[in-house]
Amino acid sequence: MVRHTDSIHLGTLKNQLKNFPDVVFTETQLRISSDKLPAGDIIDIDISTAQDACDRGDLFLLPVSRLPAPLDLSTVRDDYLPNSLMPCAVGHTISSSVIISNASFSAPRPAILADFFDIDAFPGRRALQKTPRGIAERALLAHGVSADEVYSALDNPRRAWPIIENALDSLRGQITWIENDHMAIRAIDKGRASFAVISSQAGIRYALSHGDARWNIVWDQALYQIHTWAIPSSSQNQAAAWSLIQHLAHPQVNGRYSTAAGNGPARISALSLVNAAYQPHLPGYADNAANLVLQNDQWWVKNGARYQERFNDWLARTQARRTSAEPARTSDPLAQWPRPAALQLLLSSRHH
């Protein structure tokens, strides 16, 4: 059974389809799964999980060559961002997690991934979620591991973890643990952190409401995810499901859909149709796309527990070191503070 990390709930898609009056949609004719296969006829599934499901025969093979032609009349495959089109799944949107830094850094501003781990050149706290996912990939990339070898390197924890731990140790004492994008943005906004990792969706929302002059986005080796449409092999409505996927894949519709979702479109020709204010903040934008790294969600589903255990051990050791470094408490809470000689003489005389 395939578990997918991103699911489109029935009500959500119906609301989005209100923008597409030419699509006939009823619950009885076409079901959208909101849990796991084989609950529906179309699922929204990340590309790595789709590949895994495709290899097992859990998804229908799709005639992707018959998708709507791109606006510039190039081939369909050339109109999709790398890795976003496969035999069993059609990419619809691209999301990413990016490093942001506050605007306090004068030139040169942080520009490459390694700057995130360089406390000397770029001092200040780093706002991070308490998980090895994302931190692990960034640590290896900053160490020099190539993008196409990151997950093969992670397959060997004995060699990969020391690199990750060294990267974490380089930030020791300068990490603010946060739980979500809102807390990360607030930490940057209030000056409680110099760097944070957020989703590109959150970055778009903030930039559109506050302006983007308060921070700098580091797109170098940003991690991105591809979200796709796929049809479970158990579907009884394959033809209807494929018709809807074809419609959603039209560049014009893909542009509107991605704007509604707050992500970038998988189709290159659709990018120009996205709200112009969104475009500079999207992973598929020309200036941002040059050095992106595809995050493998399915790898974390299968292997994440091994790294979570090591990460938890590191957290425990860090906390233990912090506790042991704190000054010992005494029975007299004022004893650790220097006292004027006259006051010291007065206090000591009370005991005689």
Cβ-Cβ contacts under 8 Å for 24 (sequence gap 6 or more): none
Tell me: the pLDDT tens digits for 91-118? Answer: 999 999 999 998 777 678 899 999 999 9
What is residue 79's DSSP assignment?
Answer: G
Q: In terms of residue numbers, what domain contains 198?
A: 95-224+307-315
The values of phi and psi at residue 228, to 5°, are -130, 160
Establish if 336 belongs to a structural domain. Answer: no
Contact 178, 105 (CB under 8 A): no
Strands (E) across the chain are located at 43-46, 85-86, 89-102, 126-129, 175-178, 195-199, 215-230, 264-265, 293-294
Residue 246 domain-assigned (yes or no): yes
In a domain, 331, yes or no: no
> Is 22 in the same domain as 121?
no
Residue 231 lies in a domain: yes
> Is the pLDDT reported for residue 23 higher than 50?
no
In a domain, 344, yes or no: no
Q: Report yes or no on 321 lying in a domain.
A: no
Same domain for 214 and 113: yes
Residue 205 shares a structural domain with residue 230: no
Q: Specify whether 193 is located in the same domain as 311.
A: yes
Q: How far is Cα 314 from Cα 177, in angstroms, rounded to an integer?
A: 14
One domain, residues 200 and 118: yes
Together in a domain, 100 and 186: yes
Q: Residue 33: pLDDT above 50? A: no
**What pLDDT does 277 receive?**
78
Confidence of residue 290 (pLDDT cuts 50, 70, 90): confident
Whether residue 203 is found in the same domain as residue 256: no
Domain boundary among the residues 301, 330, 346 is at 301
Torsion of CA 142, 146, 149, 155, to 10 degrees: -20
Same domain, 249 and 101: no
185: in domain: yes
Total domains, the chain: 2
* Residue 149 banded pLDDT, cuts 50, 70, 90: very high
Q: Are residues 186 and 248 in the same domain?
A: no
pLDDT for the residue numbered 335: 38
Say whether both 191 and 231 belong to one domain: no
Among 51-55, 133-137, 276-280, 314-318, the range with the most confident prediction by mean pLDDT is 133-137
3-class DSSP assignment, residue 33: coil
Please return the burial class of 75, using the count of CB atoms within 10 Å of its CB with bins 0-12, 13-18 and 19+: exposed
pLDDT (mean) for 35-41: 56
**pLDDT tier for residue 325 given thresholds of 50, 70 and 90:** low
What would the pLDDT profile of 228-268 be if each residue is shown by its tens digit? 999 999 888 888 889 889 988 999 888 888 877 778 899 99
Phi, psi for 38 (deg, rounded to 5): -105, 50
Q: Give pLDDT, residue 108.
A: 83
Residue 268's SS3 state is helix
pTM (2 d.p.): 0.80
pLDDT digits (tens, 9 = 90+) for 193-210: 999 999 988 877 776 666
pLDDT of residue 289: 85
Whether residue 220 is found in the same domain as residue 100: yes
Q: Is residue 31 in some structural domain?
A: yes
* One domain, residues 178 and 45: no
Report the CATH number at residue 165.
Answer: 3.40.190.10
